[in-house]
Structure 1
Amino acid sequence: MKKWLIVFSLLSGFVQAETAIFSAQLPDLKNKIQAISQWKGKPMIVNFWATWCGPCREEIPEFIALQKQYAGKVQFIGIAIDEQKDVAAFSKQYGINYPILIGEANAMELMRKEGNQLGGLPFTAIYNAKGERIAIELGRLKKEKLENYLKELTRK
């Protein structure tokens, strides 16, 4: 019996880690709380970033283009580790076409739960339509590499 309790507790920890992103709720650019779970059901690309992060600034235009290319098939979500006013100005300047959520300490903890123990930016977690995390990338995610994930995730 003791052995089964240990196995169950280990499995419950794994399930919690895998679903942490879907239990998160963060404010959007209008300060309205958004549940990340609302986008479950299609592949998701969740990108943690900041306006002051050079590699983030490089990859965001590619994310914008890929969100447009895969509209209706994949959902990009940006979680900014930054001030709301800076993020709003940045989003407008770059023409970000996917949901942007504002995170501070909560987002840093969420990022750790999703596999980023170093707390570095940018950090991207990729989920399939079932909500299973299939990959994480710390640092700038090159468009070609992300496109390979997207092609696999959207293949019927």
Structure 2
Amino acid sequence: MPDLPTPRPAASRRIPLAIGAVAVGALIGFAAVYGFGAFKRGPAGDSACNGAVDLARKIAPLAQGEVAALTMATTPLRLPDLAFEDADGKPKKLSDWRGKTVLVNLWATWCVPCRKEMPALDSLQTKLGGKDFEVVAINIDTRDAEKPKNFLKDGNLAGLSYFSDQKAKVFQDLKNIGKALGMPTSVLVDGQGCEIANIAGPAEWASDDAIKLIKAAVQPAKAGF
């Protein structure tokens, strides 16, 4: 009787399947951590924010001098509806400023650049704050709630309204969409809650460069842009 072919070991037949399973498992793990990249990138690509990208492109030449570090929006992005509190502990949301151009700023008393930046933000609010524009500076100190209030009082920074988030969730919410890499963080937002520009780090917001840029960002909104 002729010799029959030796059966291929079952284990060897399973090797490609095992490799495939490992690859799929790795992909699933990657997705769980990173959200499949482009498939899960927060509220990006909102067509209602196309106007903010157009505005960013128009005012980009003004991002120079003291505000040269601003990154102008190139992709439509609606910010999360950030939740925080006012000085009386009443809940506030970013959507409370719909229809108004807003400079959202995150700061803390333990952040030296933040403290240095606050007088300029206060000056910007004093000069341009009103029905069309507001600086919304949100403190994220997580311990002594009176410390940031006393800092503003001692510095005679009366132009800014006091807002806080002692859980610092606003920072995490912006970090999740790639808009908070450190402190301070500022995001210029249009009346629809869409990003116009952002900056990681301080800026001289009281400078002529900043005033010109903010005015240019506000004017189209007033004209129904």
TM more than 0.5: yes
- Report whether the alignment pairs 1:71 with 2:129: yes
Which residue identity is paired with 1:91? L
Q: Which runs of 5+ in 1 are unaligned?
A: 1-8
Q: Is the 8 A contact 1:47 1:78 kept in 2?
A: yes
Query: Which is strand-richer, 1 or 2?
Result: 1
Q: What's the offset of the Cα at 1:126?
A: 0.3
2:42 and 2:140 map into 1 onto residues whose CA distance is 28
1:150 aligns to what? 214
> What is the TM-score normalised by the length of structure 1?
0.79
Give 1 or 2 for the bigger CA radius of gyration.
2
Q: 2:148 is matched with which residue: 87, 104, 116?
A: 87
Secondary structure in 2 matching 1:99: coil
Which residue identity is paired with 2:149? A
Q: What's the offset of the Cα at 1:122?
A: 0.5
Q: 2:199 is matched with which residue: 134, 137, 143?
A: 137
Q: What's the offset of the Cα at 1:109?
A: 1.2
> What is the TM-score normalised by the length of structure 2?
0.57
Q: Is the 8 A contact 1:124 1:141 kept in 2?
A: no
The 5 A counterparts of 1:5-154 are 13-14=43-44, 15=46, 18-20=78-80, 23-72=81-130, 73-82=132-141, 83=143, 84-94=145-155, 95-103=157-165, 104-118=167-181, 120-143=182-205, 144=207, 145-154=209-218
Secondary structure in 1 matching 2:178: coil
Q: What's the offset of the Cα at 1:19?
A: 3.2
Q: What's the offset of the Cα at 1:136?
A: 0.7
Secondary structure in 2 matching 1:107: helix
Q: Is the 8 A contact 2:117 2:204 kept in 1?
A: yes
Deviates more, 1:77-86 or 1:89-98: 89-98
Q: 1:11 to 1:111 in 2, by over 3 A?
A: closer
Please, what is the CA RMSD of the aligned residues?
Answer: 2.4
Q: Percent identity?
A: 25
Deviates more, 1:26-35 or 1:45-54: 26-35
Which residue identity is paired with 1:60? M
Report Cα offsets for 1:93-148 as digits up to 9, x if no partner.
23242332222241221231453353x10000001223221111001112334323
Which residue identity is paired with 1:36? L
Q: Is the 8 A contact 2:129 2:135 kept in 1?
A: no
Deviates more, 1:86-95 or 1:41-50: 86-95
